[in-house]
């Protein structure tokens, strides 16, 4: 369980594919503490297990499901990634409850500067996600907890403040860029419960 509050931007050092799987190497600093082999870490919003740890980074294994449902398989050496350690019991919940289970890959449609902030419109990967987003609700984009500013047909908008633009990879978003999208877990349970009762 995560909060969507990015602790640092790590740097991809390697992505080696082997059949339908891959190994991802990431250089890090702040998130090294407490993240030993076997620990979980959110990388651009996807919960991954540390399989190797060194003095300056981690290695993760990416299975077929992760490669199919996230953008991680498209990473290149030198690219920054958002890193967050799991929420600890008693810790502050600064964002919202983020599972690290990406729902799909959205695509940036438009990036608009509004004074010191930036408005970003992202196309949803499937219509099934539309009921899981509400105005002023929560959404995680590349692991960053954000508020839904507006909804469109198969799209949603978020506003990025200056801090988010500099402290996360979202300041580098450009039209056409793929992003990991995770909707609010509360909405998922609500929609599932209503569906089981035959309410649409």
pLDDT band at 92 (very low <50, low <70, confident <90, very high): low
Tens-place pLDDT, residues 118-163: 999 999 999 999 999 999 999 999 999 999 999 999 999 999 999 9
Where residue 114 falls among pLDDT bands split at 50, 70, 90?
confident
**Considering the chain, what is the average pLDDT of its residues?**
92
Which CATH class name applies to 104-196? Answer: mainly beta
The CATH number for 8-84, chosen from 2.40.30.20, 2.40.50.140, 3.40.50.10860, 3.40.50.410, is 2.40.30.20
pLDDT in tens, 172-181: 999 999 999 9
180, 192, 196: which is closest to 2 by C-alpha? 180
Could you tell me the residue ranges of all domains in the chain? 8-84, 104-196
Residue 194 pLDDT: 67
Distance CA 41, CA 60 (A): 9
At residue 96, the pLDDT reads 76
Question: How many whole angstroms separate alpha carbon 4 and alpha carbon 9?
Answer: 13
pTM, full prediction: 0.92
Per the model's pLDDT, the better-predicted residue between 62 and 115 turns out to be 62
* DSSP assignments along 98-156, one per residue: B-S---EEEEEEEEEEETTEEEEEEE-S-GGGGGG--TT-EEEETTEEEEEEEEETTEE
Which pLDDT band holds residue 200 (cuts at 50, 70, 90)?
low
Report the run of H or E that residue 160 belongs to, with start and end.
strand 155-160
Domains 8-84 and 104-196 share a fold: yes
Mean pLDDT of 92-117: 89
């Amino acid at each position: 369980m995560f909060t969507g509050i990015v602790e640092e931007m790590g740097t991809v050092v390697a992505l080696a594919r082997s059949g339908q799987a891959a190994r991802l190497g990431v250089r890090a600093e702040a998130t090294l503490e407490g993240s030993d082999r076997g620990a979980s870490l959110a990388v651009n919003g996807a919960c991954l297990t540390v399989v190797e740890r060194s003095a300056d980074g981690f290695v993760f294994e990416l299975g077929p499901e992760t490669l199919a449902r996230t953008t991680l398989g498209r990473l290149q050496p030198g690219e920054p990634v958002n890193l967050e350690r799991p929420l600890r019991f008693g810790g502050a919940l600064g964002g919202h409850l983020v599972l690290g289970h990406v729902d799909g890959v959205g695509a940036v449609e438009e990036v608009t500067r509004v004074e010191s902030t930036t408005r970003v419109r992202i196309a949803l990967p499937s219509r099934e996600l539309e009921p899981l987003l509400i105005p002023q609700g929560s959404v995680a984009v590349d692991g960053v907890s954000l508020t839904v500013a507006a909804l469109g047909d198969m799209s949603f908008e978020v506003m990025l403040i200056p801090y988010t633009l500099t402290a996360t990879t979202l300041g580098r978003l450009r039209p056409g860029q793929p992003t990991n999208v995770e909707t609010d877990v509360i909405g998922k349970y609500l929609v599932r419960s209503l569906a089981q009762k035959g309410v649409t």
